[in-house]
Amino acid sequence: MREANPQKALPKSGWASSDFCVSPWAPPDQQLNITSSLIKWKTNNNEIPIAQCSANCVPGYRKVPIPGAKTCCYDCAPCSNGEISNTTDSENCFQCPDMEWPNKKRIQCIPMKEDFLTYSDDVLSLLFYPS
């Protein structure tokens, strides 16, 4: 009989292979008991490893599927001009309403600044200065 791989997740209904069976309803003398404090993880500070293929996409980015990869594996792409995402792992970016534009991080829409030129502005003075 071989040992169970502690890195595999065990469903509540149990798990079996040709060599052994792990069952939550087994008699006490046949149950698999794992003392999690005794597990030595090969990570920084003995932290439990993250079982995740890709890093989370932060707000301002969206998930981009990787062709041929599992759905949990993806790239992150920044939102396009005029779009935002304000949640982690956003599937899509959203267009800002009219007269609004994304902030630098592309996580919220902000009103566009309106600049008006006056006759006292240097540019207009040069254009309309009589020569």
For the chain, the domains span: 1-40, 61-109
**Amino acid 129: pLDDT:** 61
**Amino acid 21: pLDDT:** 62
d(CA 38, CA 42): 13
SS (H, E, C) the chain: CCCCCCCCCCCCCCEECCCCEECCCCCHHHCCCCCHHHCCCCCHHHCCCCCCCCCCCCCCEEEEECCCCCCCCEEEEECCCCEECCCCCCCCCEECCCCEEECCCCCCEEECCCCCCCCCCHHHHHHHCCC
- Where the chain has pLDDT below 70, the residues are 1-24, 117-131
**Amino acid 82: pLDDT:** 95
d(CA 48, CA 42): 9
> DSSP 3-state assignment of 128?
helix
pTM: 0.54
**Amino acid 25: pLDDT:** 76
**Amino acid 1: pLDDT:** 40
Q: Which amino acid, residue 123?
A: V
Q: 103: closest CA among 85, 119, 116, 129?
A: 85
